[in-house]
Amino acid sequence: MIPHSELSFKKCFAVGCDETIPLHRLMCRDHWDRLPMRLRSLVLETQRAWDRGGPLQPYDIATLDAQLHIAQIEGRPEVASIRADLDRIAGAKARLG
């Protein structure tokens, strides 16, 4: 049986990280602390906007940006595929104007 408290936890968004974190957070403390202030602010601002009924896409882009940053710092091979996802989403946004 799964303890009830585990239902409100998820995995850190950084590639390859198995840390469990509260649902409302994006990354574990270690990875979050490695993000530049610009990216942290962007994630939090777009998350707030989404919570208030705004579009999800800016938050998607911000979180992928953050994931890409960590993958680059750690020299992970997933960098290329994260960048492709980011281009696809950001590109769609650019086309929509």
Task: Find the shortest distance in angstroms from Cβ 5 to Zn ion.
Answer: 19
Task: Find the shortest distance in angstroms from Cβ 1 to Zn ion.
Answer: 27
Binding site for Zn ion (CB under 5 A): 12, 14, 17, 19, 28, 31
- Closer residue to Zn ion in complex, CB, 53/77: 77
- Closer residue to Zn ion in complex, CB, 13/59: 13
Radius of gyration (Cα) for the chain, nearest Å?
Answer: 14
Task: Find the shortest distance in angstroms from Cβ 70 to Zn ion.
Answer: 8
Give the integer Cα–Cα distance in Å for 1 and 18: 21
Instruction: Give the distance, in angstroms, between the CA of residue 87 and the centroid of all CA atoms in the same chain.
Output: 15
In 3D space, the residue among 74, 34, 69, 24 whose CA is nearest the CA of residue 86 turns out to be 69
Tokens of 37: 């202030």
- Closer residue to Zn ion in complex, CB, 19/60: 19
